[in-house]
Amino acid sequence: MPSFNVFLKSKLPKTGNSIFSIMSALANEYQAINLSQGFPDFEVSTELISLVNQFMKKGINQYAPMPGILKLRELIAAKAEKRYGIKYHPESEVTITSGGTQAIFTAIAATIREKDEVIIFDPAYDSYSPAVVLAGGIPVHAELKLPDFHIDWNEVKKLINQRTRMIIINTPHNPSGAVLSVKDMQMLEKITAKTDILILSDEVYEHVIYDDQAHCSVARFPKLAERSFIVYSFGKTFHTTGWKIGYCLAPEKLMTEFRKVHQFMVFSANTPIQYAYADFMKDEKNLTGIESFYQEKRNYFIKLISGSGFKILPCYGSYFQLLDFSKLSKEKDLDFAIRITKDFGVASIPVSAFYKNGTDHKLLRFCFAKTNATLEQAAEKLLRITKQ
Ligand code: PMP
């Protein structure tokens, strides 16, 4: 190992290995069923795979245009208009990114300055806060209110001041499975009116929403859309999380700034996969049925584990199910998650990991984007856990 004697002050001193890597490594070590990290374990559409292959064979292997291939941007703009009734210009208001995470990082890097405050709702997806800190900003954390993980808008009002630059929302929500309502959007509209606050709306689970609810995108609300970056992920929509392609929608002025960073961060995203998604998206049927597919998984998982010692929390969207283990153990959620991985063979994520303050509500997050066989094996193990 080379020696290293240079003085280096970490820019993220409190950041260690992410809980997702830790729990996945533990799952591997103990050969546990891994319901911790959020990725499907079933096959990707063979049509989509052969499209990528065909484009590679055709020689589509060099850099794409910086904002992404136009054909895909046009289809995305048409989809936004159809679903949310809003026109984004494919030339100037749609950018293809290397996953939703890059879009989030880019939007923050492009707009947040030293000491700008950014409101983040905990429990939160773990990339928001480090992105704000690296930009010199200050994450201001507000906790979602249990039992249904709703936003307390009066509390948000009190957090807003001259330095507030951005509010980050996420619907459907990881890890809670909560969704924002029209009322929430109206409150957000009210609170941000007559301010210069930007909104970063993480909507990567737009198609993973249940019980015939309409996804409440900020794009449906013109007064919100005019100040918003909206982030999506093909990984979530087409079960291809490892391909790392997503996109961002924003009004031209915001998108111009976004692209200034995007071009130096990645320049452009994977070319043959963009062509393949464009061909795949042209066929409407490939964008339908995602909701019902995951709803069946959710219902099946719930059915399998009913009768266990866990309390099942409602899940309205995303492919995560929260389980309350307070009747089974008084352990910290991290300790309990580690123990059931080692002793019972099922890995999950302790929800305290999504809180800045490590708030522990005795909840574990389980990903049900898995084959029925995986869910059955996991449930059989979870049913064996009894009170300690
Ligand atoms: N936002 C949320 C809420 C997520 O759960 C994820 C993926 N875990 C992302 C963004 C990132 O998406 P991608 O994999 O496309 O980077």
Distance 125 CA to ligand 1 centre (A): 8
Between the CA atoms of 231, 216, 181 and 298, what dihedral angle is there, to the nearest 10 degrees? -80
The per-residue pLDDT for 195 is 97
- What is the position in ligand 1's atom list of the atom closest to the CA of 202? 1
Containing H/E element for 367?
Answer: strand 363-367
Residues contacting residue 117 through CB under 8 Å, at least 6 positions apart:
137, 138, 139, 140, 161, 163, 164, 165
The DSSP annotation for 279-339 comes to HHHHSGGGGSSHHHHHHHHHHHHHHHHTTSSSEEPP--BSSEEEEE-TTT--S-HHHHHHH
Q: Please list, in sequence order, all residues whose beta carbon lies within 8 angstroms of the beta carbon of residue 112, skipping any fewer than 6 positions away.
A: 118, 132, 135, 136, 137, 165, 166
**Rounded Cα–Cα distance for residues 330 and 347 (Å):** 18
Nearest ligand 1 atom to alpha carbon 241: 14
Substitution site in 168, 180, 203, 233 for ligand 1 pocket (most atoms within 8 Å of beta carbon): 233
Q: What confidence score (pLDDT) does residue 138 get?
A: 98
Q: Closest ligand 1 atom to the C-alpha of 125?
A: 3
Q: Ligand 1 pocket test: which of 35, 122, 125, 265 has the largest number of ligand atoms within 8 Å of its C-beta? A: 125
CA distance 388 to 335: 13
Helix axis angle for 271-282 and 46-57, nearest 10°, is: 130
H-helix segments, 30-121: 46-57, 70-84, 100-111
Is residue 150 within 8 A of residue 187, CB to CB? The reply is no
User: Residue 387's pLDDT is what?
Assistant: 83
pLDDT in tens, the chain (388 residues): 889 999 999 999 988 888 999 999 999 999 999 999 899 999 999 999 999 999 999 999 999 999 999 999 999 999 999 999 999 999 999 999 999 999 999 999 999 999 999 999 999 999 999 999 999 999 999 999 999 999 999 999 999 999 999 999 999 999 999 999 999 999 999 999 999 999 999 999 999 999 999 999 999 999 999 999 999 999 999 999 999 999 999 999 999 999 999 999 999 999 999 999 999 999 999 999 999 999 999 999 999 999 999 999 999 999 999 999 999 999 999 999 999 999 999 999 999 999 999 999 999 999 999 999 999 999 999 999 998 7
pLDDT for 336 equals: 97
> Residue written as tokens 């911790």?
36
Taking only Cα atoms into account, the Rg of the chain, rounded to an integer number of angstroms, comes to: 21
Cβ atoms of 128 and 103 within 8 Å: the answer is no
The binding-site residues of ligand 1, defined as CB within 6 angstroms of any ligand atom, are 38, 99-101, 125, 170, 174, 202, 204, 233, 235, 241, 246
Taking the centre of ligand 1 as the mean of its atom positions, its distance from the CA of residue 309, in whole angstroms, is 30
Which atom, in ligand 1's list, is nearest to the CA of 233?
Answer: 15
Take residue 310 and report the two structure tokens written for it: 């866990």
Burial class (CB in 10 A: 0-12, 13-18, 19+), 263: middle
How close is the Cα of 19 to the center of ligand 1, in Å? 15
Ligand 1 centroid – CA 124 distance (Å): 11
For ligand 1, atom 12, name the residue with the nearest CA. 100
Probe target for ligand 1 pocket from 236, 277, 367, 368, with the most ligand atoms within 8 Å of CB: 236
Whole-prediction pTM: 0.97
* CA of 388 relative to ligand 1 center, distance in Å: 35
